[in-house]
Amino acid sequence: MTVERSRRRSRTRALAAATAALALAATPMASASAHGHDRRSVLLQCQGTESVSYSPGVTFRPRHFDVTTDGRFVSCVDVGGKVRSGSYQETFGLFAGCDDLLEGFTARRTFRWSTGDTSVADISGSSTEVAGQVVTTITGKVVKGRFKGRTAVEIITLPQPGVLRCLTTGFTGATGVTTLTIT
């Protein structure tokens, strides 16, 4: 087996493990919701991808760059049976380097649904490194639109920046899986 093939296999296993962990974390909890007593019951669960681009590329030397995110939920399960898919897009500036991309953040995210309406959430997030992946957990409260007053949790798993890219032209982007749960 070639080294590249072995690396791909390791990455595939790591991604499969991370995806399985995400699915388990996002599984609805058994609760009193069947009796209508628990507001934490899952109203919406979506799975998809997020692509992030950095311009100029992120290097070890901290500098200002623009971050563009493009999230696409291709599969949503809505208790009301209406939301089938969704998306979000953002562009913002950041001053950081490859060593501190894991720092926490706060923002406002607008989710656009297949129904034509939106959910605006005030969010905060933090990232960790897990099995060669950067796992970002975002939590927040929907403050406007569909699901107003509900809690949103999004988990995004992206490949970790490559050391060689961080040393040269810079890490310019990544695409990974994302899961959103609104309770």
The C-alpha angle with vertex 138 and arms to 137 and 140, in degrees rounded to 5, equals 150
pTM above the 0.85 mark?
no
Q: Is the pLDDT of residue 13 over 80?
A: no
pLDDT tens figures, 149-180? 999 999 999 988 777 888 888 999 999 999 99
Q: Is the pLDDT of residue 33 over 90?
A: no
Domain residue spans of the chain:
3-26+40-182
Report d(CA 130, CA 20) in Å as an integer.
13
Residue 143 pLDDT? 98
Contact 122, 140 (CB under 8 A): yes
Report d(CA 8, CA 6) in Å as an integer.
5
